[in-house]
Structure 1
């Protein structure tokens, strides 16, 4: 009996030794990971943490795009163009708008950044007239629309913007009230009147001042770039993270962002602390910005959102896929739709996602030709626009540089074609638009010059789109290559 037990014990010991912890490699997406049984070997720990930091940096890059975009724009206005908080920048000429991501080349922009840390509650007096605009926070969430799609409905009025945590004053009923969740805001509008003199008069009537100085407000300062170069394109490399670190010092942390703030903390970016990344953090941030932007390009120029392709048999995408300016749907916030839009564009208002015929605007984007090939600045293309485009006001086609997402900076000094221009039409009322390094003979007015060695993309805008757009009975052809 005892002998049998000893034999059994010897067998169990042999089994435990043979099944003991051993060295082996595990194949993963990041290469082979040395293992000790079910645990990573100690020499693999650093590699796993490096991957964690890289993944955190990549996701943080995509999350921060709208915030960094506005912070960059604000800094360029301040440092290169001399704008202070509360000043308005008037962007009218082609050169003025070269720094704006996917600017409309047809109508003037009037924009100003305001730091509510400095002003406290802010009063805006919008004059009556054909304008479209609003106030947005620094996550590029629309706080309130102004103008034709705002509560004043084009009749003008007084707006009051409250900083986070500030209660409305006793006379709040005199204003259209807007509560911001960030301390910095963008106030902007576009003049839709085609008469330049009337547009200038509207701009000069606009007022913006601290509520505390409402009894004797100072005149709002109007500025212009005056030929100075500037760029609102998000910076690359470590400069992206430096800009992010700077702006989060001035802003409250939204509850929805606390986990992302934890990721940033492990990368050396924290509120109320200096930015001095270690060598490992620096490497993760550089690589995260590089790969993050590549993912942003895929997410933007090859959208996979359900229903993004506006017509099933066309290459035109709905570029703005954010359901509401709050960026919030029933069970989640639209992170990827937000990342796509704010990589290729800036600002968001209710009027930009109009679903009401005759009001607001709509945007379609083409990044490829009819065969699915990226649009090449060295090749020639044509776009046929059918008769009676569904726009109550006007339509425009604008060409952008893929790398900067800004107006194409060509020798022609022109980036758009629109129904407001003297285009050569076909006998049936349709029009053919042309793109390429050289102009097609006889269609010079219908042509935008593209640049060899650079890719481009386009937006087709409809102002006050009509029912034929919404019910899709009118279709826009694809951009096609021509010899």
Structure 2
């Protein structure tokens, strides 16, 4: 029996190269199903380029954490120490969408020598601590403080690296197994009467970072007697080293040139085998970044990697700043206000659960990772936690942001705009509106070092009907100075509206801010 093949013979005459591919790599030529030498070379160049673009986009979360670590080291904040912003963060530093509403305490833990403990102090209302921990690929580990298991009462968090095989305590610690051998944690403490001094002092006095003593506090003597743990000696925790960050200028953003690959290679070499996603590590290996091997691309590959950074960065920026409508990230129908986490969840697999009188109801996942949602989050923003996208009232922090005005045009620092927040802004802690530089995704540098208006300030004027108008312009509109955020002519910007401890009208969308309208 003869089987007739329906596949083209791939002769030069029959093969049609799509125009966009031909313009990129040239004419494809096959003879009797085999590529010519020139075609094979072109296709391998193209494959390396495509994989490098994908590697740039998919490795960006890890690049971001590694860049944070580098940035901290550049100002003397070594692993297992803490940078604290006692007088709040400002626009001096490049830090992806950080805020100047809360006191930050940030650190990287080194788990290579054994588990580490983070003792989080209690901080009662009207303040409180929102904290989270992510690994070196920006995967969520646990929350601390208000959304964490200590629920603002303070607690000891024990972080255990992937290679640790020693004993763990019987009790007294919130234990998390970490897939990477280093990790990032950051705490945000609320101000009291617009004053950061009390929460900053509570963090300095009570936040402790130190190694775990196996068989020490948390382990019963009986556990030792059963041979299940050593008999560790109780000892005072060593002093935690704090570095004051307020006013410091440093960079925590990944580069968008060839050094991006060197940053990723640093991460891959630093982490143990198996700590990253195998598909991503395979993608990186295909372009020359592999654990235990020197990253030394030849001239051909270096040129491809340099070009891929340009295209990858431009693609990531486009997905984050100009998403297609079909992504469904608009928080309100037809609105510029958006947040991809409400469609993809913190793990980019499923939306956050619905909250009902019977409890939390998970939204089924289709099993597919929302790749565009992931890069749309990590390219402009720092950190991920369920507390950033849960529909639970009175706890956590929720954000929506917009890159465009009501006419769907990108926000322009040379124009004047107004945003109206209707009465009864749905928050039980505070709200804030901040402006960010569209290029750096960091606080916009203007004559206002802290480019923020919030209910904490006590100076933002309300209208007679209880609504609040916020103005964005290079110069303050007459009589509106208290409600004005400065912009820069010739520089694009975007806006984030934050609601801390949001209320139900935010989630059911019965409360809705206006679009940012040109005036």
Q: TM-score, normalised by structure 2?
A: 0.84
Residue 472 of structure 2, aligned match among 415, 420, 435: 435
1:446 aligns with 2:483: yes
Matching of residues 71-82 of structure 1 within 5 Å = 71-78=66-73, 80-82=74-76
Q: Residue deviations 1:199-240, cap 9 Å, x none?
A: 123212111100038623211111023644211111111110
Q: Residue deviations 1:168-204, cap 9 Å, x none?
A: 7342422111111111111210101424232123212
Aligned to 2:338: 317
1:110 alignment partner, SS class: strand
Change (3 A) 1:159 1:450: same
Q: Residue deviations 1:8-43, cap 9 Å, x none?
A: xxxxxxxxxxx9955566322321323335443322
**Contact 1:384-1:476 at 8 Å conserved across structures:** yes
2:333 alignment partner, SS class: coil
**C-alpha distance in 1 between matches for 2:185 and 2:471:** 35
Aligned to 2:149: 151
**C-alpha distance in 2 between matches for 1:257 and 1:66:** 12
Shift of 1:360: 0.7
**Contact 2:101-2:190 at 8 Å conserved across structures:** no
Q: Residue deviations 1:426-478, cap 9 Å, x none?
A: 11111111111111110011111111121111110101110111111111100
Residue 291 of structure 1, aligned match among 308, 311, 315: 311
1:274 aligns with 2:309: no
1:50 aligns with 2:45: yes
1:84 aligns with 2:78: yes
**Contact 1:100-1:231 at 8 Å conserved across structures:** yes
**C-alpha distance in 1 between matches for 2:89 and 2:69:** 20
Residue range with higher mean Cα deviation, 332-341 or 59-68: 332-341
Aligned to 2:21: 30
Aligned to 1:230: 250
Aligned to 1:212: 213
**Contact 2:130-2:145 at 8 Å conserved across structures:** yes
1:361 aligns with 2:397: yes
**Contact 1:131-1:154 at 8 Å conserved across structures:** yes
Q: Residue deviations 1:265-308, cap 9 Å, x none?
A: 23221111122111111111111111111111121112346431
1:33 alignment partner, SS class: coil
2:40 alignment partner, SS class: helix
Shift of 1:135: 1.6
**Contact 2:89-2:245 at 8 Å conserved across structures:** no
Aligned to 1:242: 262
**C-alpha distance in 2 between matches for 1:209 and 1:256:** 26
Aligned to 1:138: 136
Q: Residue deviations 1:356-402, cap 9 Å, x none?
A: 11111111010000111111111111111111110111111110001
1:62 alignment partner, SS class: helix
2:65 alignment partner, SS class: helix
Change (3 A) 1:255 1:334: farther
Aligned to 2:189: 191
Aligned to 1:347: 383
**Contact 1:23-1:37 at 8 Å conserved across structures:** no
Aligned to 2:510: 473
**C-alpha distance in 2 between matches for 1:36 and 1:434:** 66
**C-alpha distance in 2 between matches for 1:96 and 1:22:** 58
**Contact 1:398-1:415 at 8 Å conserved across structures:** yes
Residue 373 of structure 1, aligned match among 402, 406, 409: 409
Aligned length: 462
**Contact 2:413-2:493 at 8 Å conserved across structures:** yes
Change (3 A) 1:82 1:170: closer
1:463 alignment partner, SS class: strand
Shift of 1:246: 0.6
1:186 alignment partner, SS class: strand
Aligned to 1:14: none
1:249 alignment partner, SS class: helix
2:462 alignment partner, SS class: coil
Residue range with higher mean Cα deviation, 56-65 or 158-167: 158-167
Q: Give the helix-richer structure, 1 or 2.
A: 1
Higher-Rg member (1/2):
1
**Contact 1:321-1:337 at 8 Å conserved across structures:** no
2:112 alignment partner, SS class: helix
Change (3 A) 1:154 1:50: same
1:301 aligns with 2:321: yes
Aligned to 1:107: 102
Residue range with higher mean Cα deviation, 221-230 or 109-118: 221-230
Which ranges of structure 1 fall in alignment gaps of 5 or more residues?
A: 1-18
Which ranges of structure 2 fall in alignment gaps of 5 or more residues?
A: 1-8, 215-233, 351-364
